[in-house]
Amino acid sequence: MIDLKSAVSETADFPETGILFRDLSPLLRHHFAQTLDALDALLSQDQWQLIDAVAGLDARGFVLGAALAARRRLGFVPIRKAGKLPPPVHQLSYKLEYGTATLEMHQGRGRVVLVDDVYATGGTLMAGAELCRQSGYDLQALLVLADLRLQGRPAHIAGLPVRSVFHYG
């Protein structure tokens, strides 16, 4: 088995001084299929049987979520940055580490798994989970590639643990 975490590169002081940026691009470039295998394995076959669609957060959650949905022969639900989906949409604004952002999603229903690339402070995942709920979806699981385990992040989001392929800290 490939050590996926070792394929992540690090850049100090990016995007600002004091931040260690972990770049997933080399991992996705060289080990994409294995990365999807690892994300898929975060849920049991029985759990996957209960899922109707995979929701992915803009932008890398799209890449991972859409590929995972295709692999599982499930639908894909995009959660986009503001202004990228035609109306009507549900919208939610939230705080980021470096400012604020707004996410949008179309109304729907069914049981979904929410996918993103990184779990840092939890802001984006919390917003995505709440937006799924507001839009009519029944959130079943939260999957991320990397958990940065930053101080102060919630242990659970929407009552669910955040499942990760690997973590730091």
- Contact (Cβ atoms closer than 8 angstroms) between residue 132 and residue 141: no
Q: Is 29 a catalytic residue?
A: no
- Show the CA angle centred on residue 34, arms to residues 49 and 62, nearest 5°: 65
Name the active-site residue from 10, 16, 29, 60.
Answer: 60
Q: Is 97 a catalytic residue?
A: yes
Name the active-site residue from 16, 71, 97, 153.
Answer: 97
Rounded CA separation 132/55 (Å): 8
Mode of pairing for the β-strands spanning 75-81 and 53-57: parallel
- Burial track 46-59 (b if 16+ CB lie within 10 A, e otherwise): eebeebbbbbbbbe
| Catalytic positions, written as ranges | 60, 97
